[in-house]
Amino acid sequence: MVHLERIRVHPIKSFDAVSVTAGEIVDNGGLARDRRYAIVEQPSETNATGESVGQYVNGKREPRVHHLEATYDLERETVTVSERGCDETNTFHLELDRDCFASWLSDYFGYPVEVVRDDEGGFPDDTDASGPTVISTGTLEAVASWYDGIDADEMCRRLRPNLVLDAPAFWEDRLYDAPGQVVPFDIGSVALRGVNPCQRCVVPTRDPDTGEKTEGFRETFVERREATLPEWAGEAWFDHYFRLMINTRVPDLSWGETLSVDDPVSVGETAVDPNPAD
Within-domain flag for 18: no
H/E stretch holding 12: none
**What is the spatial distance between Cα 243 and Cα 27, in angstroms, rounded to a whole number?**
27
The predicted structure's pLDDT at residue 194? 97
Specify whether the CB–CB gap between 136 and 172 falls below 8 A: yes
Task: Give the burial class of 27: count Cβ atoms within 10 A of its Cβ; 0-12 exposed, 13-18 middle, 19 or more buried.
Answer: exposed
Specify whether the CB–CB gap between 271 and 184 falls below 8 A: yes
Same domain, 161 and 205: yes
Tens of pLDDT, residues 153-178: 999 999 999 999 999 999 999 999 99
**Single pTM value for the model:** 0.93
* Domain end residue (candidates: 117, 142, 158): 117
Q: What is the 3-state secondary structure (H, E, C) of 20-51?
A: ECEEEECHHHCECCCCCEEEEECCCEECCCCC
Specify whether the CB–CB gap between 11 and 72 falls below 8 A: yes
Q: What CATH number does the domain containing 225 carry?
A: 2.40.33
Domain that holds residue 55: 37-117
Tens of pLDDT, residues 49-87: 444 457 899 988 898 999 999 999 999 999 999 998 888
The predicted structure's pLDDT at residue 277? 65
Tens of pLDDT, residues 188-231: 999 999 999 999 999 999 999 988 999 999 999 999 999 999 99
The predicted structure's pLDDT at residue 119? 84
Same domain, 186 and 73: no
Same domain, 112 and 129: no
* Domain end residue (candidates: 70, 94, 117): 117
Tens of pLDDT, residues 87-141: 899 999 999 999 999 999 999 999 999 999 998 888 988 888 899 999 999 999 9
Tens of pLDDT, residues 111-123: 999 999 998 888 9
